[in-house]
Amino acid sequence: MSQFVLAVDDLVKHFVAKRSAFGRSLATVKAVDGVSFTLRPGETLALVGESGCGKSTVGRLVMRLIEPTAGRIVLDGEDVTALGETAFRPFRRKVQLIFQDPFASLNPRMTVGEILSEPLMLHDIVPARERRRRVGELLQMVGLQPSHAARYPHEFSGGQRQRIVIARALAVEPRIVICDEPVSALDVSIRAQILNLLKELQARLGLAYVFISHDLSVVKHIADRIAVMYLGRIVETGRADEVFATPRHPYTRALLSAIPVASPEARRERRILEGDVPSPLDPPPGCHLHTRCPYAAEICQTQRPALDDDGAGHATACHFWPTLPEQRDILPAEGKIDPRLERLFGAFAGTEA
């Protein structure tokens, strides 16, 4: 069991969207609707999907910042689903969170030193005398100076702030870090730096990441495994290279074909879904995608497809995945980038810390 640092089993979260005058719920949003996944030590699992598909909710459920409606969360071999706020507190040393917006996730009235020493104090990780030194180490670990501890968050840039957020997450020496869109609020030029920092820290500290993102080009860069979510359910999961090379679910194919590529001449097949995402208040029955899927048949409207594993860890929730036409070249092969763009990338690569 403990080969996994995190195992999530059939996790469900319903939000009440409308209440009657007496507080009874009239309508619920099934933000997370039976999500299961596992995470091995040192591994990166990417949760991808468009806005509102429930990927951030999964992150917050694992962090126990919100209470699950049903399902099980097993953290490092221990079932933590039923633990209350106080009983769960020691487990916060094992799993930490990196937020999307580095301008909102640091308390503006605390110095960086106070922000970083707080978790050290709360979990009694280093004695009070050594906290200053440890804060300095943490700052150096994320590429900042120990002298920055005396400053306030507003004195830093977005990229630097995100480094501080990462340092705070690492202060408790966690095994799992949930990265909730950690680079999507940052300038493109900074993204690579932060992603490389995350990778480097993972290699050094053996961290496991749950990497939540809607940006597939970022995911491709960092993920070992991928879970694609659509309207609260995982529709496809597998090794990242495999999912990128041979996507099986129609939704994954559409998602991958939407990645912009830096080679205008490349030939690629486009899979564009018709229509909008249905309202999560009233998702379609059966397979959630059937309203937009070009391959939909009758069974899709009534029966929810199971996440069907091919035996090699690549699972797809589609009734017809074995019979769908094989699809390659959704992403053009590497190395066909315009030489001018390559020089531009080179310029940014030089600035990476």
Partner 1 sequence: MAVDSPMQRAWRRLKRRKGAMIGLGVIVVMILVALFAPLIAPYDPTAQSWSAVRKPPSATYWLGTDEVGRDLLSRIIYGARASLSAGVISVGIAISIGVPLGLVAGYAGGLIDGVISRITDAMLACPFLILAIALAAFLGPSLTNAMIAIGVTATPIFIRLTRGQVLSVKAEDYVEAARAVGNPHWRIAWRHILPNVMPQLLVQATLTIATAIIAEASLSFLGLGQQPPAPSWGSMLNAAQRFLVNAPWMAVWPGLAIFVTVLSFNLLGDGLRDALDPRAR
For partner 1, the binding residues (CB under 8 A) are: 63, 65, 85-86, 89-90, 92-93, 96-97, 99, 101, 104-111, 118-119, 122-123, 147, 150-152, 154-155, 165, 168, 171-172
Question: Least distance to partner 1 from the beta carbon of 97, Å?
Answer: 5
Question: Least distance to partner 1 from the beta carbon of 170, Å?
Answer: 11
Q: Please state, in angstroms and rounded to a whole number, the distance separating the CA atoms of residues 231 and 31.
A: 7
Closest CA to 168 of 105, 99, 116, 206: 116
144 vs 171 by CB, closer to partner 1: 171
Q: Please state, in angstroms and rounded to a whole number, the distance separating the CA atoms of residues 37 and 55.
A: 12
Question: Least distance to partner 1 from the beta carbon of 91, Å?
Answer: 9
Count of H-run helices and E-run strands, the chain: 11, 12
Question: Least distance to partner 1 from the beta carbon of 211, Å?
Answer: 17
100 vs 291 by CB, closer to partner 1: 100
Spatial contact of 22 and 33, defined as CB atoms under 8 Å apart: no
CB atoms within 10 A of CB 72: 15
Question: Least distance to partner 1 from the beta carbon of 109, Å?
Answer: 4
107 vs 351 by CB, closer to partner 1: 107
33 vs 181 by CB, closer to partner 1: 181
Spatial contact of 73 and 157, defined as CB atoms under 8 Å apart: no
Q: Please state, in angstroms and rounded to a whole number, the distance separating the CA atoms of residues 230 and 250.
A: 11
Question: Least distance to partner 1 from the beta carbon of 137, Å?
Answer: 17
185 vs 255 by CB, closer to partner 1: 185
Q: Phi/psi of residue 158, each to 5°?
A: -55, -45
In the chain, the N- to C-terminal Cα span, in Å, equals 38
The token pair at 319 is 């009734």
- Bridging pattern class, strands 70-75 and 6-19: antiparallel
81 vs 237 by CB, closer to partner 1: 81
Residues 6+ apart with CB under 8 A from 222: 44, 46, 195, 198, 199, 209, 211
